[in-house]
A and B are shown apart, each in its own frame.
Chain A
Amino acid sequence: MVKKSWKAIGNVVDGAIHIRNEKPCQDALYLHTGKDFAIACVADGHGSSSCPHSDEGAQTAVKLVGKLLYEMLPNLADHKDIRLPKLIEAKWKEEIKKLHADREREEFDPFPYIQYGTTLLAVAAAKDFIFALQIGDGNILMIDKGGNARPILAVEESVGEDTESLCLTDAWMYVRTQIIPWNADNGETMFLLSTDGYAKSFADSSGFLKAGTDFYKLWQEEGLDFIKENLPDWLRKSSDKGSGDDIAMALITF
């Protein structure tokens, strides 16, 4: 019998609105899998006029957090509340400062972080636990072996388009984290991470949850490679017919 392991796939598509406005894609994706783990991060740069470089902010966030989660994997449970969120904020801002220094002559700003503002969602699946992290909007679903999709780290809908962001002062305080104990007996399980553009392409939250169940069924019936092949097309259609926003999505399976 083949030993089961964590696998991760994902994709990013430009939103119809962003293509029309000739704006770069604001979403970013990072995947890293190994013998007993999988890490997936997605981020959504704010893209507003006050955040002209948020695509770079999102790219920086997914790479940096993916690396941190990998390094701290054995100790995530111990650092999830304070140390990790503080490190994420500090390291992201440090990187942004370096990035901004290159363009500072033209655009001097003592507090450049807002120009790079981004959300961030991450899941690290290990041998005996699942770690989830989120700042700002977007969605993480856990779909169990019965195909039941449940949101993780969900908060009440915020008003309007404002979202919590890595660019905020004391951003670490807005980072939500969760550890879910895990063992292989839990059976085939899937985690779905997506930036807000995906959930917004559904009429309501039940439609989005159903999509989670549908992805699970497709994985069971057609396999992960089938999803990987078709995901860009499906996300493109979701954006075109729905929110018009960029979408980054990752799936982690066991």
Chain B
Amino acid sequence: MIYALADGQKLLSKHKITYKVIRFIASGGQGEVYEVEDKSGRRFALKWYFKHSATKYQQKLIERLIERGAPDARFLWPLDIITKDGLFGYIMKLRPPMYKGIVDLMKRRAEPTFSALCMAGINLSDGYQSLHSQGLCYRDISFGNLFFDPKNGDVLICDNDNVTVNLDTESATNGTPRFIAPEIITGKSKPSTETDLYSMAVLLFYMFMLHHPLEGAVEANIKCFDAKAMEKIYGHEPIFIWDPVNDKNRPIPGYQDNAIIFWNMYPPYLRDMFVKAFTKGLHNGNHRIVEKEWKDAFVSLKNSILYCQKCGKENFFNKKPTCWSCKTTISPPPRLNIKGQNVMLNHNSSVFAHHLHANFDFDTVVGKMSQHPSRPGKWGLTNATKDNWTFIKANGDTAVIEPCKTVPLINGAKINFGPAEGLIE
């Protein structure tokens, strides 16, 4: 392959920093990505545009994005620009190796727990909300530019060089096929935050169902996979595979199994949201699910995780939980009913700041499940804060729970955490 930049080549940036090319990493449709190093030895990524992509508009866009700065730390945002011989590229942080793509998820090279997947859903929705709240539009949400840490669901949003202000008409970027909103494919609309919401719903569907929401019987029966057929499925005649009133595009068993297995595993409220996103929301941007709704849904999903006592698999709480894997009837663990949320108190559960403040803070642990030191099998919730809690028994008796002390899980008792009170059930 003929690389645009050579190993060891030195390049001076607009911010007067000299970067040395360390190695070629990858190439894509717009350009090549290299690992580079500054004088102090810090490593970065450099995206270097091919001649056909190195337009004046793209350069201006990058310069504006650098000036504006990243919406938050989850974005691998352009930090500096390098120009040379009429071409240019931009510097961004390197993606750490523990972050995996959705393709890794599909190919089972990354196997996150449902809990980590829920966190990835929350973080992804939160990231795009942060971008949209600044009046920006991503324009190209797809599984090629989202990466997540399978251990904890942290996300990184890459390829931010197409981000524009909402409703910008100058950019030529319309997105990635299969993620582009139908109204863009049919030429009725240009990318906007509304069309971003559609692409985001496709991405979330992929993450949770490991399948595309519009690929069912219609796709399976295509005889010629040309551009016309693609436009029909994703643009002119899209049908959600689980459309409740139109069953023409149901997934085919044996060919589209993920779509069937996972759909039936999730609770009705999550399925209803996807139904809304891909029925009413398919044709009308105003009916699309917004980021906050997705975040709330994934928090509920995360709260509802319980484990099968027989096979140990994660399941989701319902009135009569039966393990999706071994079909055993599961006895649910105690739950904490707090601010309208039902948090399963499993052996590894935590109560987070979010449960008290509804602020999506899942980094700050408030309470942690722990086992009685001398009575194995006896579990309680340990105060992980620096403040006292109040334990209120069903008969009204109270006790102060100091930091590091543990509350027994007694049905009908309450815990006053200060900002909120939770009922143990």
Contacts and interface: CB of A to CB of B under 8 A. Distances in A.
A and B part of one assembly: yes
Interface of A: 68, 71-72, 74-75, 77-79, 81-83, 87, 90, 129, 142, 144, 150, 173, 179-181, 183, 186
A75 B106 contact: no
B176 interface: yes
Interface string B30-52: 00000000000000000000111
8 contacts: A75-B177, A81-B106, A83-B178, A142-B1, A144-B1, A144-B2, A181-B27, A181-B50
Interface stretch (B54-62, B91-99, B219-227): B219-227
Contacts of B178: 78-79, 83
B84 interface: no
B50 A78 contact: no
Contacts of B107: 173
B267 to A, nearest CB: 26
A144 B215 CA distance: 39
Contacts of A150: 1
Nearest to B1: A180
Contacts of A68: 225
Nearest to A74: B227
Contacts, number: 46
Contact of A75 (B51, B220, B227): B227
Interface in B6-35: 27-29
A68 B222 CA distance: 11
A12 B28 CA distance: 34
Nearest to A69: B225
Given A87-B225, A90-B255, A181-B50, 11 more contacts: A68-B225, A74-B227, A75-B227, A78-B178, A79-B178, A83-B212, A90-B220, A144-B1, A144-B2, A181-B29, A183-B50
Contacts of A142: 1
B27 A180 contact: yes
B226 A72 contact: yes
B108 A173 contact: yes
A71 B176 contact: no
B27 A82 contact: no
B290 interface: no
Nearest to B215: A83
A72 B176 contact: no
B151 to A, nearest CB: 22
B323 to A, nearest CB: 23
B176 A78 contact: yes
Contact-size category for B: 20 to 34
A72 B225 contact: yes
Contacts of A181: 27-29, 50
A81 B29 contact: no
Interface string B335-367: 000000000000000000000000000000000
B103 A75 contact: no
Nearest to A73: B226
A71 B1 contact: no
Nearest to A90: B255
Given A83-B178, A180-B27, A181-B29, A75 B230 contact: yes
Interface in B95-120: 103, 106-108
A4 to B, nearest CB: 16
A71 B226 contact: yes
Contacts of A129: 29
A133 B407 CA distance: 58
Contacts of A83: 178, 212, 215
Contact of A81 (B103, B230, B255): B103
Contacts of A179: 27-29
A90 B225 CA distance: 14
A79 B212 CA distance: 12
A79 B229 CA distance: 14
Nearest to B50: A181
Interface string B203-219: 00000000010010000
A71 B29 contact: no
Contact of A71 (B27, B103, B106, B225): B225
Interface string B169-195: 000000011100000000000000000
B2 A71 contact: no
A79 B27 CA distance: 16
Contacts of A87: 225
Contacts of B106: 81-82
Nearest to B224: A71
Contact of A186 (B2, B29, B103, B225): B2
- Point out which of B29, B106, B225 has the most chain A C-beta atoms below 10 A from its C-beta: B225
B85 to A, nearest CB: 14
A75 B106 CA distance: 20
Contacts of A186: 2
Q: What are the 5 tightest A-B residue pairs by CB atom distance, in nearest-first order? A: A71-B225, A81-B103, A78-B177, A173-B107, A71-B226
A39 B51 CA distance: 26
